[in-house]
């Protein structure tokens, strides 16, 4: 707990970076470094292993048990899985598709070892392809198509992983949503692919005319989305704020279930300041639904709710960037 602005979110973020080498809110690493500082070192232990991430503005070095991992993939395999929850989860229901794709990416990267590489290659090829579409008055389709084939190759991997993830997540989402809404509201999620058919290269050929006009890549997994529904109706347009919040929580809880099933152990839950904004019923339902085993780190600005719901665990206070243990 803390007064606002004392750094509890940074603490959770550091844990997230240490486990997954990415922040839940930024994609550029240098954002993590304290303004004016040269570098940033994070250390911690998980499952008996000592993890260490050293980040400078230009380079990152990661180590497990003091031996440097040249490949990020090897490091991530030895680290813990993470689920991040904060108030911006509301964007899953209310925000643009990029928020739902980030949900897919954050979870799929932890489930499928091939995902992150495919995603990075896809994004790189997409940038080049869009640049080529914009650059010349007469588009050089041979160059554009050279990248289209790469999009198709990596896009197929990304789609397969996302489909698989959503298939695994569907049932736990509905279950968690029923639990959180006291059995009143059936919520569901499904995958909306960003290109028709099985073959992205063929789909790109189909939209050639509109690409020539709009000068940007019209189909592909960068246009993927999720359909969220409550009572079979789109949650973004028809649900109340409370219902949307419940569904977004359910999506994150389901992510935790899926990671636990795949990994055999529950992920680390990093929960930033969401209990204050829930009503008592949802709060209790959420606490009851969190995985019983496994570590949860919860931040909050006040602890009344914690004594009211009888949540156990250690309580620390953050003041002026310092951490102090304290009784509940």
Footprint of other proteins (CB under 8 A): 117, 121, 124-125, 127-128, 131-132, 135, 142-143, 145-147, 149-150
Q: Which is nearer to other proteins, 3 or 149 (CB)?
A: 149
Q: Which is nearer to other proteins, 142 or 324 (CB)?
A: 142
Give the whole-angstrom CA distance, residue 252 versus residue 308.
24
| 96 φ, ψ (degrees, to nearest 5) | -75, 170
* Per-residue tokens: 233: 């109706």
Half-sphere exposure (Cβ direction) of 73: Cα atoms closer than 13 Å: 8
Coil, strand or helix at 211: helix
The stretches of the chain forming alpha helices (DSSP H) are: 8-20, 72-78, 91-94, 97-111, 115-135, 141-180, 200-206, 208-214, 235-238, 241-263, 280-289, 304-309
* Per-residue tokens: 69: 């991992």
Q: Which is nearer to other proteins, 92 or 108 (CB)?
A: 108
CB of 215 to other proteins, least distance (A): 14
Q: Which is nearer to other proteins, 87 or 120 (CB)?
A: 120
CB of 147 to other proteins, least distance (A): 5
Cα 196 to Cα 202, 218, 223, 224: the distances in Å are: 9, 11, 11, 11
CB of 153 to other proteins, least distance (A): 8
CB of 26 to other proteins, least distance (A): 22
CB of 301 to other proteins, least distance (A): 44
Q: Which is nearer to other proteins, 146 or 315 (CB)?
A: 146
């Amino acid at each position: 707990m803390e007064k606002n602005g004392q750094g509890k979110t940074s603490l959770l973020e550091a844990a997230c970076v240490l486990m997954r080498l990415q922040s839940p809110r930024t994609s550029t690493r240098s954002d993590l470094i304290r303004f004016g500082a040269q570098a940033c070192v994070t250390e911690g232990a998980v499952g008996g292993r000592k993890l260490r991430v050293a980040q400078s503005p230009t380079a990152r070095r990661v180590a497990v048990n003091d031996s440097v991992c040249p490949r990020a993939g090897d490091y991530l395999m030895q680290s813990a899985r993470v689920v991040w929850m904060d108030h911006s989860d509301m964007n899953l229901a209310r925000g643009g598709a990029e928020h739902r794709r980030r949900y897919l990416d954050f979870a799929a990267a932890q489930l499928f070892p091939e995902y992150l590489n495919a995603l990075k290659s896809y994004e790189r090829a997409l940038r080049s392809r869009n640049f080529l579409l914009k650059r010349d008055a007469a588009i050089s389709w041979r160059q554009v198509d050279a990248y289209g084939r790469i999009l198709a190759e990596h896009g197929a991997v990304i789609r397969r992983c996302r489909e698989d993830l959503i298939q695994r997540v569907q049932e736990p989402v509905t279950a968690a949503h029923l639990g959180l809404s006291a059995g009143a509201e059936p919520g569901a999620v499904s995958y909306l692919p960003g290109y028709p058919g099985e073959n992205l290269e063929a789909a790109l050929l189909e939209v050639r005319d509109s690409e020539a006009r709009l000068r940007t890549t019209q189909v592909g997994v960068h246009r993927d989305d999720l359909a969220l529904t409550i009572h079979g109706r789109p949650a973004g347009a028809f649900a109340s704020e409370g219902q949307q919040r419940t569904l977004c929580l359910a999506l994150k809880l389901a992510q935790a279930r899926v990671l636990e099933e795949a990994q055999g152990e529950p992920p680390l839950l990093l929960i930033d300041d969401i209990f204050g904004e829930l009503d008592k019923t949802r709060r209790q339902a959420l606490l009851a639904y969190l995985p019983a085993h496994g570590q949860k780190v919860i931040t909050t600005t006040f602890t009344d709710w914690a004594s009211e719901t009888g949540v156990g665990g250690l309580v620390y206070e953050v003041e002026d960037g310092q951490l102090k243990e304290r009784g509940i």
